[in-house]
Amino acid sequence: MQAVGSLSEMFFGFPEDGETMIPERFSNVAAVSSPESETLEEEDDQDKEGNGVVEDNTAFWETQHKVLQATLCRSSSLESKIRNATKEALKDIQNVAGNICACGRSVASGGCRSCLMREVSGRLRSAGYNCAVCKSSWRSSPDIPSGEHTFIDVIENSSTKKGEVRVIIELNFRAEFEMARASEDYNRLVRRLPEVFVGKVERLNSVIKILCTAAKQCMKEKKMHMGPWRKHRYMQAKWLSSCKRTTTSAVISLENSGRLPKPRASMLTVDLLEKLPNMHCTAVEVL
């Protein structure tokens, strides 16, 4: 892959003016006015335009990878502390056996997303962080549809003049940017994202801008329409719009309660058993 060689390429992905060279085999064709020479000139122009597009696209994706890597590598001491605490919380949850969430599924085996967020939030609060589950919502506009999103945040009082510092925790960050028909260039960029994102609002905003710019370029290269839910403003609204913070834990441990989850049975099965008590019922696997 061609290395990025100038500041304009690094930030915009376009080669500087005057860098395109005319092949020597067509250097003397310009003086000929025959139809054959005009055809050769047209084909040459198309080749140069095609090569230029490929080079521009390559430089663009190289730049996006470098900028994303630099953005993700930078981390403050507060972000690192909360990231480590989040990792420990997730590790503890996975190691707990018999911990059943409010939806009746095992938290250790994945559970539901909302119960997992509440469990992580509760453990971070126990560790001394001002952590909560946040539910953002936004109204529709001419550019984007309305929607809502749930995630975790931590608010810390800063010793500087900045006041409160907000750190966003998204447990399924990579999946938020995945696209079904994306190009391999875009997919490689998404794979660089962490599965669990922990970072300040400013860092999150930078990552969103990088990925949304890449999504727009991906759709342009594939000549496809970009859905409004992929736009920059919509992705920003997920984490950066007004939200409601909740600190209530919804995870219920049944390990020590002595109760078992109530079994679920089909009403059809109950009716058959009542009417035909002497019949043996055989389970049938439905493919």
Condensed to tens digits (0 to 9), the pLDDT of residues 174-214 reads: 999 999 889 999 999 999 999 999 999 999 999 999 999 99
What is the mean pLDDT of the segment spanning 28-57? 51
Which one of 34, 68, 102 terminates a domain? 68
- For residues 93 and 39, membership in a common domain is answered with no
Q: Is 251 part of any domain?
A: no
- For residues 58 and 157, membership in a common domain is answered with no
Question: pLDDT band at residue 114, thresholds of 50, 70 and 90?
Answer: confident
- For residues 234 and 98, membership in a common domain is answered with yes
- For residues 38 and 177, membership in a common domain is answered with no
pLDDT in the model for residue 101: 63
Q: Is 141 part of any domain?
A: yes
pLDDT > 50? residue 259: no
- Domain assignment of residue 214, given as a range: 76-246
Return the top range by mean pLDDT from 19-23, 28-32, 42-46: 42-46
Query: Which of 8-12, 133-137, 210-214 has the weakest average pLDDT?
Result: 8-12
Q: Is 157 part of any domain?
A: yes
Higher pLDDT, 107 or 24: 107
Higher pLDDT, 104 or 211: 211
- For residues 151 and 88, membership in a common domain is answered with yes
- For residues 89 and 169, membership in a common domain is answered with yes
Which one of 68, 85, 117 terminates a domain? 68
pLDDT > 70? residue 16: no
Query: Which of 15-29, 128-142, 180-194, 199-213 has the weakest average pLDDT?
Result: 15-29
Q: Model-level pTM greater than 0.75? A: no
- For residues 85 and 174, membership in a common domain is answered with yes
pLDDT in the model for residue 202: 95
HEC-encoded secondary structure of the chain: CCCCCCHHHHHHCCCCCCCCCCCHHHCCHHHCCCHHHHHHHHHHHHHHHHHHHHHHHHHHHHHHHHHHHHHHHCCCHHHHHHHHHHHHHHHHHHHCCCCEECCCCECCCCCCHHHHHHHHHHHHHHCCCCEEEEEEEECCCCCCCCEEEEEEEEEEECCCCCCEEEEEEECCCHHHHCCCCCCHHHHHHHHCCCCCEEEEHHHHHHHHHHHHHHHHHHHHHCCCCCCHHHCHHHHHHHHHCCEEEECCCCECCCCCCCCCCCCCCCHHHHHHHHHCCCCCCCCCCCC
How many structural domains does the chain have? 2
Sign of CA dihedral 211, 216, 217, 221: positive
Q: Is 282 part of any domain?
A: no
pLDDT > 70? residue 228: yes
